[in-house]
Structure 1
Amino acid sequence: MLIPKLRQNYPYAKIIMLGNPHFADLYQNKPYDVQYWGYNPRNLYSFIQLFSLPRPDWALVPGDNRYGWLAFVRGAKWLIAFSGDRSAHKQWCFNELLPLPKHAVAVAVPDMMQKLCTGKDASPFQPEHWKITNYHPLPAYTNITKNHENQPTINHGATDNIILFHIGAKSAIKHWPTQNWLTLANYFKQHNKQVILSTGKGEEAQLDEVQKVTQLPCYRGNLSLLQLIEVMQNVELIVCLDNGIGQLAKAIATPTVCLFGGGSTILFAEAKFWKNIPYRSVTTDIECRNTSLLFKRKIDWIQTCNRSINDCIHQSPHCMQNISVQKVIQACEKIIELGLEPIQDYK
């Protein structure tokens, strides 16, 4: 990734990273000695605060080139980004525009970002590179049932036998069928594993469907980012969908199985930078994974799908429905060695 590469090649540089204020807690311990600066483009005060930062010698913009104008206004001496943004005015402020791969060269996004600066690519990620320690107390489980007996306790370092299903997704196109979650939960139950459920705020509908049948303990959209990280760090395995949680799990380094529907595993799962992390992606070939956009740029070799459920030609999460429970269990088996057994319906 870009920040590790910068730190590796420029060990004494002052590195400042602008990003969403909601993610500031991830950088509380300054991984790679980076200063994280929360920026909200809709907040005038957030913009004014940028002028309290030192004038940058070098500004790198890895995504939407419109943010290059922030660095330009702040007086950056040299600005670099990727070319190809469809709005030409976004590119006028840059001193150097680098091409994204245009041919049949499969490059994951974290590895692609490293192309923005010269030098040796970053060494593969190790868990000690990113420590998060300042937790918030966990709330009680949100249970539809009143039966609270034998509820699992999240303890630091005691990860055995607890499996986290993070089943929420902002888009219905990423939902895995409820019956599949039920069958997977039953599989872990047969192996004496305790499953807990979680989801983000506003994503509770499918969790409720699963929880009503299973009566499993759950965090129903009531965790802060730090609280969710604490749960993720102290379970044996995470099963989740292709979203921010799937990416966050890599930095936490908890064994993870991530389900990709329309998303590209090449772009978002198979990075060299993450090669030492216990992470497995599960997907299936579909004919409608045929859009070629990344960062609003058309790149012919990319095969992904950015459609909503309303735009989908199937009018349903067809790509997710094609992911079998058996494939997910096999991926789990590769990480925590459960030993495959015949799949049974939830009991």
Structure 2
Amino acid sequence: MKKQRRLPGRLLIFAALLCRLPWQWLRRRPVEEAVQRILVLHQFLLGDALMATSLLAKLRERYPAAEIILACPQGQVGLYQSRPYGITAVGWHPRDFASVRKLFTMPRFDLAFLSGENRLSFLARAIGARWIIGFADEAPAYKNWLVDEAIPYSTTPESWTDTAARLVAGPDPKPFSLVDWPLEEVSLPFFGQPYVVLHVGASSPTRYWPAGNWRELAAYVRARGLTVVWSCGPGEEQLVDEIQPAPDDATMAGSLNLLQLRALLHGARAAVCPDTGVAHLAKIAAVPQVMLFGPGSETLFGASRFFSSTPCLGVGPIWFPCRIQRDMHYRQTEWAMRCYRTVGTKEGQCRKPQCMAVVQPSMVLQALVQLLPEENNCNDQDI
């Protein structure tokens, strides 16, 4: 059954390419004034998708009158209900024939931007995009064949957020503001006093922080008269159970959708998250936060020029011996140092993530104190 569902979509793209490729040599980039329709195409997970918000901002600044369509995973579409930067989000997946067919029925796009994998250029060309722009040097090389304009990564360290905006020529977009991405009205519980969100889940077990460290951090928050709100994703409830929250804590374990979680984060005095999708959701919620870095790169995924209007402090080892991967989205990046191994006992897997264990609660407390300035009347012994 799976093959029967996937095959029609592939046939549709293949058949359309056969019709369009003979005319490939005639393609020309549309003149700036003629650009009316723009497609941003990706299949990112939540974190990478939200970090690429800078691309949407820059596109709107450069093409103020253009219609911008964001084709993203279906589960992310709800976040864009308020139409940030005037874009329209549509859900799709390569294996979902109906969603691919929907892209074929749309009016032709003048420009298509691939903020992730260049293999999506085959779909962009198949649906008739006049000019396709992506990042250069993706491996393997065949993925780049249909990219009309290849933009190199930065040769110096910078956040992936700021790199994403490089697909559009010109200066950086103005920093993120909630004016450009309004919050939706959602129903949330009332906690009765200011609170701090402690999000304990992560996209990989290699990013889990030990339960005892979370307990120590929570004790500090309570001592400052703030409510502790525990958060995690669906299926991660055992992480909160292991921490054993105090009776007065609030627990939002796997019970909120993305819009509700964004609103919860926005109302917090601060948030503490591992380097995961929710940390980047906190950025578009404009909440001060501390990010915990173990296997990930703070340079790539921490603070950025685009999200500079809200504090984002990274805590974790600057260097770790097994953080040796140097690629980003299948492209070699010499200055990037990260680790994307999974937890397990097989060769090449991580038996026990030591990089997160070395992130001491005292380090996180010191960063959190900076985000709660009116709480700075504590002495050094308090932290």
State the TM-score, normalizing by the size of structure 2: 0.80
Structure 2 residue aligned with 1:291, among 310, 320, 325?
325
Q: 1:334 aligns to what?
A: 370
Partner-residue secondary structure (3-state), 2:299 = helix
Structure 2 residue aligned with 1:119, among 147, 170, 191?
170
1:220 has 2:253 as partner: yes
Q: 1:147 aligns to what?
A: none
Structure 2 residue aligned with 1:45, among 98, 104, 107?
98
Partner-residue secondary structure (3-state), 1:219 = strand
Cα distance change, pair 192–19 in 1 and its aligned pair in 2 (3 A): same
1:153 has 2:190 as partner: yes
Q: 1:9, 1:120 within 8 Å by CA — same for their partners in 2?
A: no
Output the amino acid matched with 1:108: S
1:87 positional shift: 2.1
Alpha-carbon distance between aligned partners in 2 of 1:270 and 1:215, rounded to the nearest angstrom? 32
Alpha-carbon distance between aligned partners in 1 of 2:217 and 2:185, rounded to the nearest angstrom? 33
Q: 2:47 aligns to what?
A: none
Q: 1:188 aligns to what?
A: 221
Output the amino acid matched with 2:173: A
Cα distance change, pair 307–313 in 1 and its aligned pair in 2 (3 A): closer
Output the amino acid matched with 1:295: H
1:215 positional shift: 6.7
Q: 1:183, 1:343 within 8 Å by CA — same for their partners in 2?
A: no
Structure 2 residue aligned with 1:128, among 166, 179, 194?
179
1:11 has 2:64 as partner: yes
What per-residue deviation string (whole Å, max 9, x for no partner) do you get for residues 292-336 of structure 1?
010012221111111112267762121111111111111111111
Partner-residue secondary structure (3-state), 2:88 = strand
Partner-residue secondary structure (3-state), 2:283 = helix
1:134 positional shift: 3.6
Alpha-carbon distance between aligned partners in 2 of 1:270 and 1:178, rounded to the nearest angstrom? 26
Partner-residue secondary structure (3-state), 1:127 = coil
1:208 positional shift: 0.7
Q: 2:265 aligns to what?
A: 232
Partner-residue secondary structure (3-state), 2:231 = strand
Alpha-carbon distance between aligned partners in 2 of 1:212 and 1:161, rounded to the nearest angstrom? 17
Which runs of 5 or more structure 1 residues have no equivalent in the other structure?
A: 139-151
Cα distance change, pair 163–263 in 1 and its aligned pair in 2 (3 A): same
Q: 2:203 aligns to what?
A: 170
Structure 1 residue aligned with 2:337, among 303, 306, 315?
303
Structure 1 residue aligned with 2:79, among 16, 23, 26?
26
Partner-residue secondary structure (3-state), 1:298 = coil
Alpha-carbon distance between aligned partners in 1 of 2:61 and 2:262, rounded to the nearest angstrom? 26
Q: 1:291, 1:306 within 8 Å by CA — same for their partners in 2?
A: yes
Greater mean deviation of Cα atoms: 106-115 or 309-318: 309-318
Output the amino acid matched with 1:186: A
Q: 1:143 aligns to what?
A: none
Which runs of 5 or more structure 2 residues have no equivalent in the other structure?
A: 1-53
Q: 2:229, 2:251 within 8 Å by CA — same for their partners in 1?
A: yes
Alpha-carbon distance between aligned partners in 1 of 2:348 and 2:235, rounded to the nearest angstrom? 22
Structure 2 residue aligned with 1:317, among 353, 364, 380?
353
Q: 2:299 aligns to what?
A: 266
Cα distance change, pair 260–279 in 1 and its aligned pair in 2 (3 A): same
- Structure with greater helix share of residues: 2
State the TM-score, normalizing by the size of structure 1: 0.88
What per-residue deviation string (whole Å, max 9, x for no partner) do you get for residues 202-261 of structure 1?
112221111266673312212111221221122211111110000111111011111111
1:72 positional shift: 0.4
Q: 1:326, 1:343 within 8 Å by CA — same for their partners in 2?
A: no
Output the amino acid matched with 1:296: Y
Cα distance change, pair 333–13 in 1 and its aligned pair in 2 (3 A): same
1:65 has 2:98 as partner: no
Alpha-carbon distance between aligned partners in 2 of 1:327 and 1:113, rounded to the nearest angstrom? 30
Alpha-carbon distance between aligned partners in 1 of 2:350 and 2:213, rounded to the nearest angstrom? 19
Output the amino acid matched with 1:171: S
> Among the aligned pairs, what percent are the same residue?
33
Cα distance change, pair 134–100 in 1 and its aligned pair in 2 (3 A): same
Partner-residue secondary structure (3-state), 2:244 = helix
Q: 2:158 aligns to what?
A: 107
Alpha-carbon distance between aligned partners in 2 of 1:63 and 1:198, rounded to the nearest angstrom? 29
More relative contact order, 1 or 2 (CA 8 Å, 6+ apart): 1
RMSD over aligned Cα, in angstroms?
1.9
1:127 positional shift: 2.4
Alpha-carbon distance between aligned partners in 1 of 2:216 and 2:69, rounded to the nearest angstrom? 46
